[in-house]
A and B are shown apart, each in its own frame.
Chain A
Amino acid sequence: MRPVVISVDAPQVSENLRRKVGYTFTFLSDPNTEAIRRYDLLHKGAGENGHDIARPAEFLIDRSGTVRWTNLTEDLRIRARPEQMLAAAREVR
């Protein structure tokens, strides 16, 4: 299972964060909220200075491109826990 994370941050902002915290997985930039809107995850005006950003959400996608598990939190403070995501990943072959 390969983690891939997406936000509206510019590539350089993501790269700085990635280096700072030492993550090695892929960070993608969606400044024009193309993928974010395609996944219906746009949170209008919720970013700095009223920018549109992504609401938090997690999707596990198998190699055929089929969604196998999702988590759309109802509360910003509560995200999927690592053990939940690992348990979901174990189900995917």
Chain B
Amino acid sequence: MMKNWRLWTGFLLSIAAFISYFAFFYRFPITRDVPWVNFILFVAATVLLIAGVRRSQRKIWSGIVAFLGIAVFAFFVFAVTVASRRLPPSHGAPHVGQKAPDFTLLDSNGKSVTLSGLLANSPRGVLLVFYRGYW
């Protein structure tokens, strides 16, 4: 294993590049919206993996490791481009200038609340935030 440090460092770096996005870099808009830190890590991992295969005597084994490392990169690109953009079009959502549809829902204390009631007590308006839940 030590004989081919480039290959194994590249493989571990690829895994680290994947995990560190969701575990750390996702927290900060500057490294979340465009995952540039993780892309740099993945490119470095890919360079090491390719160098590792070139220097390896066992091309098939090293090729499999390199393939898996690069597959992690490919999956990451898929996750942050295609998968995270799978959203309904929501063409019927209220537009600027329209009346916001009223509703009645329970708050977190189990009390019934209406949008019109909230607005009546909010002279500067209401910021309505829909989120995915399941925390």
A40 and B93 contact, Cβ closer than 8 Å, known pairs A11-B108, A15-B108, A77-B32: yes
A47 to B43, CA, bound (A): 33
Interface size on A, residues (CB 8 A): 65
Q: Report whether over half of chain B's contact residues are helix, strand or loop; otherwise say mixed.
A: loop
Q: Report whether over half of chain A's contact residues are helix, strand or loop; otherwise say mixed.
A: mixed
A26 to B130, CA, bound (A): 12
By the criterion CB–CB under 8 Å, are B125 and A89 in contact?
yes
By the criterion CB–CB under 8 Å, are A58 and B105 in contact?
no
A77 to B37, CA, bound (A): 16
CB neighbours of B125 from chain A (8 A): 1-2, 60-63, 68, 89, 92
**Quick one: CB contact mask for B95-120 with A, threshold 8 Å, 1 for yes?**
11111111101111110010110111
CB neighbours of A15 from chain B (8 A): 108-109
CB neighbours of A67 from chain B (8 A): 94-100
A76 to B81, CA, bound (A): 10
A39 to B95, CA, bound (A): 10
By the criterion CB–CB under 8 Å, are A58 and B128 in contact?
yes
